[in-house]
């Protein structure tokens, strides 16, 4: 029995003897099935050719990424917190070195994931870190491909994880969420956004999409809703889902300017 991995989106599926007939996450309009068709692998196979690389992004913030790139190619974050460490978003590969490093740093208090494209091998990560709880918004529970006892489907608009706040914004998915960590950046705060908003290549703005690969925009009401959900929180840095996509300072006004720019663009 094998827990197969989708090579396009990186989602891990529950144990089975044969690969799944399809990947529901890829067949959804927000992702895509490659022209070559749906393909499958497993963690044992990719562990022979890939590894997890770490990078210290700032004091108390470490990014983790699979190298060479696999599936969507996102980065996860190990966030050091005053009440315990949080793994933000997830990867398809868990390696022994990363599990040992996290253990040496005091382990995890929680795994928190922004949306289904980054569920990846969340159950494996939880198991490797001692069965730590995995927090996903209940609005996206239908997209879980490998259930497990560590899953915690939360409801409502916010969830406290110690001093961090998990904020449901909607948009990209109904439960798309961000994580606000007020103690980072010397108390000026940081926002981890996944794909709920995307840091632009000039690192001067963020933008929004219903589907990034298929270029389906969001409407004004939805983008205003994202802005309203995050507006009560102050943050200096914004950490996006991909390597280098970090706004290092002025995060709160950047978001306000970005919303107004986006709304002007779609009004025309």
The whole-number pLDDT of residue 61 equals 98
Closest CA to 257 of 200, 199, 205: 205
Structural Rg of the chain based on CA atoms: 18
Over the chain (268 residues), the average pLDDT of each successive run of 10 is 97 97 97 96 97 98 98 98 97 96 97 98 97 98 97 98 97 97 98 97 97 96 98 98 97 97 92
Query: Residue 268's pLDDT is what?
Result: 72
pLDDT of residue 201: 96
Supply angle C-alpha 110, 111, 115, rounded to 5. Answer: 140
Angle at 184 between CA 260 and CA 153, to 5 degrees: 75
């Amino acid at each position: 029995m094998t827990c197969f991995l989708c090579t396009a989106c990186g989602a891990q599926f529950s144990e089975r003897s044969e690969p799944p007939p399809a990947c529901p996450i890829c067949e959804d309009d927000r992702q895509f099935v490659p022209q070559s068709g749906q393909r499958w692998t497993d963690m044992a196979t990719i562990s022979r050719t890939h590894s997890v690389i770490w990078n210290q992004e700032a004091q108390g913030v470490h990014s983790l990424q699979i190298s060479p790139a696999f599936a969507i190619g996102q980065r996860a974050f190990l966030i050091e917190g005053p009440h315990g460490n949080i793994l933000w978003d997830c990867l398809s590969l868990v390696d022994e070195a990363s599990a040992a490093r996290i253990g040496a740093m005091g382990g995890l208090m929680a795994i928190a994931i922004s949306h289904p494209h980054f569920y990846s091998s969340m159950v494996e990560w939880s198991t490797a870190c001692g069965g730590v709880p995995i927090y996903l918004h209940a609005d996206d529970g239908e997209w879980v491909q490998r259930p497990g006892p560590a899953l915690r489907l939360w409801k409502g608009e916010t969830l406290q994880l110690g001093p961090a706040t998990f904020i449901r914004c909607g948009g990209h998915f109904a439960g798309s969420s961000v994580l606000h960590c007020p103690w980072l950046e010397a108390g000026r705060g940081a926002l981890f956004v996944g794909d709920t908003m995307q840091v632009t290549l000039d690192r001067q703005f963020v933008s929004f999409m219903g589907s990034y690969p298929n270029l389906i925009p969001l409407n004004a009401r939805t983008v205003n809703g994202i802005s309203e959900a995050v507006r009560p929180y102050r943050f200096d840095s914004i950490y996006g889902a991909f390597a280098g996509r970090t706004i290092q300072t002025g995060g709160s006004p950047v978001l306000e300017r970005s919303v107004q720019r986006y709304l002007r663009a779609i009004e025309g």
